[in-house]
Structure formats: C-alpha cells, structure tokens
Amino acid sequence: MRVVFDTNIYVSALAIPGGVAERALQMAMEGAFALALSRPILDEVLGILSRKFARDAEELARTAIFLSSVAEHVVPAHRVRVLADLPDNRILECALAAAADAIVTGDQEILSLGTWQGIEIVSLRQFVDRFGRQAREPRAAYRVERAARKEERPVELSSEQTAFLAKLLKVRPRPGARYGVQP
C-alpha cells in the first residue's frame, strides 16, 4: 500500500510526541506501508516547523534528512486545481504521481472529497484504526532533537552539503563561515 500524508500529519508527528500522528509515522518506518513525499510537501512541513515551532536550521536539516529516508521521493508531473487552498492541491499532485492508494489528512476540505482519482482520502484516526493493528508503540529514536551534550563537536559539512541545505532551507550561508551538525 502506498500512502501520502498531508502536511498536518507530518507536523503533528514531529511536533507533538506520543500522538496518533507519530504512531502513523512509526508504522511507515516499520514498513507497514510505503510513504510518498514530494518536495512541495517537504518545503511546507519545514516552513511550518520553522515559523510556528521555532525550529532552527540544524533541526530542520535533520528533519529533511529523516523524512527523505522514511518516504519515497515523488516528483509530480502535473498540476491540479481541485481545491481552493493551493497547497492542498500539492497533496493531490503527490498522491497522483505516486499512484497512492490513500491520502491521510486532517484537512476538512481534502477529506470532503472522500475519494479522488481512485485514491481514498481518510482521516488520521481512520487510517490508524484500519491499518495500525500491527504497529508497535512509537520509538523515540527517530525524533529530531538537538544533541543533549554541548561538548560534542559538530560534524563539519562540506561546501556542497552546506549549499544543498541552504537551498533546501532557503537561507544564505555567511561567506567564510563553517557549518556543522551535531552527531
């Protein structure tokens, strides 16, 4: 089964530990289903975590790497205009490109579609109730957090890695600055 999560599912899973959204993400990590993710969805998730949850560049970089490792990257070939909220259409585009079986969302406008292009649209609770029986309790190992000990030296990033993360996070690196991430 191939599934697309709406942005609100990712944000809930990453910002509210121990919830149903985290359980759904854990199910994907355990291989209960294949998760598909597009660049526009990832960008929206990172933007929300930055603006509303004050996540810094290091945490956002770790989040981007983590989500990219859990989900299959999909590049939508066609734009759709089904919903009034344009970012919601990016969810539909990703699902169409991934040939998804389901979209999981908390967005009422998307849920009101019921089924779109043969893709079932369900709430998070419906999804976990239906498919979550085999999932275990979420592990804390994947949570995106800062290193607990300050004395750990950061892993230095190459100029190519710095440029990639700067582009991904839409920031400008300072000339001559050295960047790293905590191990």
Q: In terms of domains, do 183 and 96 share one?
A: no
Bridge pairing between strands 155-156 and 180-181: antiparallel
Run of H or E residues at 47: helix 39-53
Q: In terms of domains, do 89 and 161 share one?
A: no
Please check the confidence at residue 180 and state whether its pLDDT lies above 60: no
CA-to-CA distance for 59 and 55, rounded, in angstroms? 6
pTM (2 d.p.) = 0.73
> Tens of pLDDT along 93-135?
999 999 999 999 999 999 999 999 999 999 999 999 988 654 4
* pLDDT at residue 139, as a whole number: 40
**Is residue 112 situated within a structural domain?**
yes
Q: In terms of domains, do 19 and 63 share one?
A: yes
**Is residue 141 situated within a structural domain?**
no
Domain span at residue 109 reads: 2-134
Half-sphere exposure at residue 122, Cβ-oriented, CA atoms within 13 angstroms: 17
**Is residue 142 situated within a structural domain?**
no
CA-to-CA distance for 99 and 8, rounded, in angstroms? 21
**Is residue 139 situated within a structural domain?**
no
* pLDDT at residue 149, as a whole number: 43
